[in-house]
Amino acid sequence: MYKMQLLVCGGTGCRASASATIVEKLNESLKAHGLTEDAQVVTTGCFGFCEKGPIVKVIPDNTFYTQVRPEDAEEIVAEHILKGRKVARLLYENPETQEHVSDSRHMGFYQKQMRIALRNCGVIDPENIDEYIAREGYSALAQVISDLTPEQAIDMVKQSGLRGRGGAGFPTGLKWEITSKFSSDQKYVVCNADEGDPGAFMDRSILEGDPNTIIEAMAICGYCIGASKGLVYIRAEYPLAIKRLQIAINQAREYGLLGDKILGTNFSFDMELRYGAGAFVCGEETALIASMEGKRGEPRFKPPFPAEDGYLHKPTNVNNVETFANVPVIFLKGPEWFSSIGTEKSKGTKVFALAGKINNVGLIEVPMGITLREIIYEIGGGIKNGKKFKAVQTGGPSGGCLTEKHLDTAIDFDSLVAAGSMMGSGGMIVMDEDDCMVSIAKFYLEFIVEESCGKCTPCRVGNKRMLEILEKICQGKGNMEDLDHLRNLAYVIKDTSLCGLGQTSPNPILSTLENFNDEYIAHVKDKRCYAKQCKALARYTIIPEVCTGCTVCARNCPVEAITGERRQPHFINQDICIHCGVCYTKCKFNAILVQ
Amino acid sequence: MVNFEINDCHKKTIKEICESFGNRRSELINILHRSQEHFGFLPEPVQLEIALNLNMPLAKIYGVVSFYSFFTMTPKGKHPISVCMGTACYVRGAEKIVEALEKELKIKVGQVTEDGKFSLDCLRCIGACGLAPVMMVGDVVHGRLEPEMIKDIISKYE
């Protein structure tokens, strides 16, 4: 047994900052100091605190080192491991008190969090099944298949109140029950790991940090619905998650936790991977199934639901990664425990990917019912560079933008929908006063237009028309009728699209029209973008008192809109200016004013 | 359109790939993944060869190739560059990074430099939002980018 362990984050974010080299250097230093018997370096999954990565955590004393560089490895080993003295300069500094916080449990980022789905991420080595087993891994599966009937197990999931974490929030136990009622020679359990929402990365972090929990949960689901085959539909863009999941599957097979007659029972279950190829619409379950069958990922009309007619026309149960990650815990701690967390209709926790203009970017897991204010200011540490909060976008391209007035809403599936957004997969992008909400709406619409599969007309043509109107507005060529037109189109698309992608695609437009109507009006009526994001609407002028007459701007202007004598203040002719912003970036004296 | 002459060696490779998936049409996406890994892209002759092996219409295969953004019918550069255009990167200025790259490489998004060294694409979220804005050059992630850093990073690739 090792006296100490050095946990190094091996998530994609920290690996991009050389965490693999840190592992190497730590191992070298341990060897040099003859400490290889006492301390062990473990590459773990994501700690969540990506903003301060790469993270190195020392246990048992829970010391949390942030922004570690490979050259710091020697000092950590020589000081902390050998002499027991913490390296103060690498500890997290509380931004308010400037005090060093050594224990992660005392950091604002972690204090309000509650980790169920992420319970093992950043704690165990994801490439070693023994570490998962040591943390009660696979004991839920053992309990279910040896002591419970499928009906009893489904009842427990129903009692827990778990709802699908992929976006729509359909009750998981009910879904399992429906699938279990259809009889067939073959049924399938599918895990949706096609995380397409830009800005959400929880599913990837779970697969990278704790792949065994997904295997265990899928096997439990297989037992409940009567399926012997599991399929994980995973993005090809997640090579690390694919690798770790494959390792976990192989190890589980070796241990007899997958395969024929698992743990001496009559239950057999095995699984394989299917790769996505980059199509957002494949998050919709019927499109996902079409894609797994080797076809274009186009959704189809429901009913029949996949529970009846799914993969290869067999009954199929599709759940998302985070949903599965909650399942083993429900059996270990009991459905009553799980349903004691959260709000009346949304039980348990939710993982959010907190990103954008916020101090603590990262992956967080919080109980349902927490407020946006707590997330943004207490966990997230407030807005970057002391700017003013403007909006928070939840639910990705299917969600909406919430404002200051929503900050104290207790968030759960239903309250977010009532506020004009949705939970979605849990992306949470914070925006400040410098973001133009019309541009943000346009950004999401560009995404939708690119990702619409083209099968139904409202989504294929309607979204394209909405995008054209938004482009017109951002060019300063919009009028008030355009705003009415935009709103009408949005409602028609919402009501008449075939699948969830089209039905929710107008949400970013509708929520910004509702909450930031004055910004749209400023673009249309005054032809101004006060956030200075829409280039065509920016007005560049030279402040005569500051201008030194160095002529740099005039020489760089591509349309010769700037005139003036050397050493005399220059002048921009607004009729010729094409708003390219070159003068602004070239001026060394901050003499160009953008309005 | 890129000219790609298919030879017997290529045909043999494609046959082997298809066979390794039991020539099953339901495995088409996995077959395309494997073929793209091998050839770097999926030109028409490769698609036709897959169609012959799986005994299905070329149009169906083209339908699948053109549907998914991961599949490409044009070759990438030696160092493919992908700029993340996820929301987190977008609000932290990914557009300016793209502009800087376009200026530095003198190509537009979706194109390859004349010497074939670099290709430029956008992708949706690699999940390194903590480092936004980010781009990938090959398999390496470069984070916390500023437009001024682009020249330096590019010059490090031969």
- Residue A22: name the closest of A37, A38, A10, A4 by CA: A10
Mean pLDDT throughout A112-117? 96
CA distance A299 to B154: 41
**Average pLDDT value for chain A:** 94
Confidence of residue A376 (pLDDT cuts 50, 70, 90): very high
Contact A270, A258 (CB under 8 A): yes
A274·B30 Cβ contact <8 A: yes
| pLDDT on residue A485 | 96
Confidence of residue A131 (pLDDT cuts 50, 70, 90): very high
Nearest to B143 among A16, A447, A453 (CB): A16
Name residues 392-451 of chain A within 8 A of B (Cβ): 393, 396, 427, 429, 431, 435, 440, 443-444, 447
Contact A409, A372 (CB under 8 A): yes
Contact B57, B98 (CB under 8 A): no
Its pTM stands at 0.93
Lowest-confidence range among A325-329, B98-102, B135-139? B135-139
| pLDDT on residue A33 | 95
Mean pLDDT throughout A151-172? 95
| pLDDT on residue A16 | 85
Residues of A in contact with B32 (CB under 8 A): 277
Name residues 341-400 of chain A within 8 A of B (Cβ): 353, 355-357, 361-362, 393, 396
For residue range A166-206, what is the model confidence (pLDDT) as tens digits?
888 999 999 999 999 999 999 999 999 998 888 888 999 99
By C-alpha distance, the chain A residue nearest B65 is A296
Confidence of residue A242 (pLDDT cuts 50, 70, 90): very high
Mutate to test the interface with A, among B31, B92, B129, B135 (most CBs of A within 10 A): B129
Confidence of residue A13 (pLDDT cuts 50, 70, 90): confident
Lowest-confidence range among A20-29, B7-16, B40-49, B132-141? B132-141
Contact A16, A54 (CB under 8 A): no
Whether residue A388 has pLDDT greater than 70: yes
Residues of A in contact with B56 (CB under 8 A): none
Residues of B in contact with A429 (CB under 8 A): 87-88, 91
Percent of chain A with pLDDT over 70: 100
Residue ranges covered by each domain of chain B = 8-67, 79-155
For residue range A396-446, what is the model confidence (pLDDT) as tens digits?
898 999 999 999 999 999 999 999 899 988 999 999 999 999 999 999 999
- Asked if the ipTM is above 0.85, the reply is yes
By C-alpha distance, the chain B residue nearest A292 is B26
A197·B125 Cβ contact <8 A: yes
A389-394 and A427-432 as β-strands: parallel, antiparallel, unpaired?
antiparallel
For residue range A281-294, what is the model confidence (pLDDT) as tens digits?
999 999 999 999 99
For residue range B42-101, what is the model confidence (pLDDT) as tens digits?
999 999 999 999 999 999 999 999 999 999 998 999 999 999 998 889 989 999 999 999
Q: Which residues have CB under 8 Å from A9's CB, separation 6+?
A: A19, A44, A45, A46, A47, A53, A54, A55, A56, A122
Query: What percent of the residues of chain B are helix, what percent strand, and what percent coil, each to the nearest 5?
Result: 50, 10, 40
For residue range A256-267, what is the model confidence (pLDDT) as tens digits?
999 999 999 999
Whether residue B1 has pLDDT greater than 60: no
Q: Which residues have CB under 8 Å from A203's CB, separation 6+?
A: A193, A195, A320, A321, A322, A425
**Average pLDDT value for chain B:** 92
Residue A482 phi, psi dihedral angles, 5° rounding:
-60, -40
Q: How many residue pairs bridge chain A and chain B with CB atoms within 8 Å of each other?
A: 131
Nearest to B70 among A200, A277, A453 (CB): A277
Min Cα–Cα distance to chain A from B140, Å:
7
Cα A123–chain centre separation: 20
Nearest to B86 among A12, A198, A294 (CB): A198
For residue range A478-495, what is the model confidence (pLDDT) as tens digits?
999 999 999 999 999 999
CA distance B131 to A589: 30
What is B79-155's CATH superfamily? Answer: Glutaredoxin (3.40.30.10)
Name residues 160-219 of chain A within 8 A of B (Cβ): 195-201, 204-205
B130·A13 Cβ contact <8 A: yes
Percent of chain A with pLDDT over 90: 87
CA distance A36 to A77: 11
Which comes out higher in pLDDT, residue B125 or B116?
B116
Mean pLDDT throughout A322-349? 97
Mean pLDDT throughout A78-107? 91
Nearest to A51 among B32, B130, B141 (CB): B130
What are the structural domains, with CATH classification, of chain A? 4-109 (3.40.30.10), 129-338 (3.40.50.11540), 349-432 (3.10.20.600), 437-524 (1.20.1440.230), 538-594 (3.30.70.20)
Contact A129, A252 (CB under 8 A): yes
Min Cα–Cα distance to chain A from B12, Å:
22
Helix (H, G, I), strand (E, B) or coil at A465: helix
CA distance A56 to A52: 10
Residue A284 phi, psi dihedral angles, 5° rounding:
-75, 135
Ranges of H-type helices in A65-138: 73-75, 83, 108-111, 129-134
CA distance A222 to B109: 45
| pLDDT on residue B45 | 96
Mean pLDDT throughout A567-572? 93
Mutate to test the interface with B, among A55, A240, A275 (most CBs of B within 10 A): A275
Whether residue B127 has pLDDT greater than 80: no
